[in-house]
Every structure is written in C-alpha cells, then in structure tokens.
Amino acid sequence: MTGARPHPPAPGFEEFFLRYEPVVRRYLFARSARHDVLDEAAQATMEAALRSWTRLATHPNPQAWLFKVAAQRHATAYKEHLRLGERTDPADFDRLPPDAAGITCDDRLEMMDKISELPEQQREALILRWLFDLPYDQVAHVMGVRASSARAHVSRALSRLTQMYTEEEGGCT
C-alpha cells in the first residue's frame, strides 16, 4: 500500500492543541453552532493551525487567529449542512466559561437565545469580548474591523440585550 508518509510531530503543537482546542469549541458553541457543525469546524480549525504551525507558533495573538479561522470554518461547515437542528442541549453549558453565582442553566440558555437574536456583527463582538474577555483590538482583528467599530458593536449588543430584557419584563424601553 502506497500511502502518504506520516509527518514528524510539530514541536510544541501538542501543547498548543491541548490548550486551544477546548477554547475553539467554546467559541463555536457560543456562536450557536450545532454539535455536528461545531465538531467539523473545530477539527478543520485545528487542522489549519497544524498546516500553519510554522507561522502560528510565533504569532503574537494565536487565539485571535484561531477565532478568525474558526468563524470561517464554521460558516463553511454550516453551509454544507442543509437541515437545521437544535443548537445544543442545556446540559452542555460546561463548554461556556464558568458563570456567576446564582445564574442557573436556564438563565444561561435564555441569555444565549437572546444573544442569537442579535445582528451577526453585534453577536460576534459580544461573544468575543464578553465570553472570552478579548481586548477590543483582538476583537477587531478577528472581525476584520477597527477597534472603535468593535467597541460600537459591543455597546449596541449590550443595549439591545437590555432592551430585550426590559421588554420581556413589561417595562418601558
């Protein structure tokens, strides 16, 4: 059998993979990726990281690079899946960063549902800034916009979420 020869291991990639692969999965989960699409996009992202390892190993911002690639791979994988399904099961919320005391799983699911209703750029900026605590310059890099635009998207997203909760409670906007 004449197959491709195995590649020698990339020095440092295993540690990189173990550190960032779960982060990429949390990011995709927060973007409302379905499990089948999430798995496909996460795998494609880490494969791209391995192919680009010589540059990525010294990249000043590998997490931002991964998020940008993951967003692209997610969009590609999602387009390939024709039928829509449930975004996730609330029991999988361990993929998100730890929540504040007193926040229930139902509260988190409700918040993710509201975030999914935001316009795409607002949703993306909020996820990167709020859930992953990226500085605005990194949010801007991932989104391909200026830092001031990233700030504006986050601000608008937070205002819109506040408005959604106020309307839900029957208050004034």
Choose the final residue of a domain: 87, 122, 143. 87
Does this model's pTM top 0.75? My answer is no
Show Cβ contacts of residue 96 under 8 Å, excluding neighbours closer than 6 positions: 26, 29, 30, 108, 131
- Amino acid of residue 95: R
Instruction: Say whether both 82 and 113 belong to one domain.
Output: no
Q: Please tell me the total count of domains within the chain.
A: 2
Nearest to 118 by CA among 32, 42, 28, 60: 32
In-domain check, residue 96: no
- Name the phi and psi angles at 83, rounded to 5: -95, 145
Choose the final residue of a domain: 22, 52, 87. 87
**Amino acid 76: pLDDT:** 80
The domain of 157 spans: 101-173
In-domain check, residue 68: yes
Show Cβ contacts of residue 76 under 8 Å, excluding neighbours closer than 6 positions: 41, 44
Q: Which residues of 4-30 are buried (b: 16+ CB within 10 A; e: fewer)?
A: eeeeeebeeeeebbeebbebbbbbbbb
Structure confidence at residue 107 as a pLDDT band (50, 70, 90): confident
Mean pLDDT, the chain, as a whole number? 80
Provide the CA 78 distance to its chain's centre, in angstroms. 14
Number of Cβ atoms within 10 Å of the Cβ of 133 = 9
pLDDT, tens digit, 9 for 90 and up, residues 112-170? 788 888 898 999 899 888 888 889 998 998 899 999 999 999 999 999 988 888 887 76
The CA-atom distances, in angstroms, between 38 and each of 5, 34, 88 are 29, 6, 10
Nearest to 24 by CA among 67, 72, 57: 67
Nearest to 50 by CA among 39, 64, 66, 67: 66
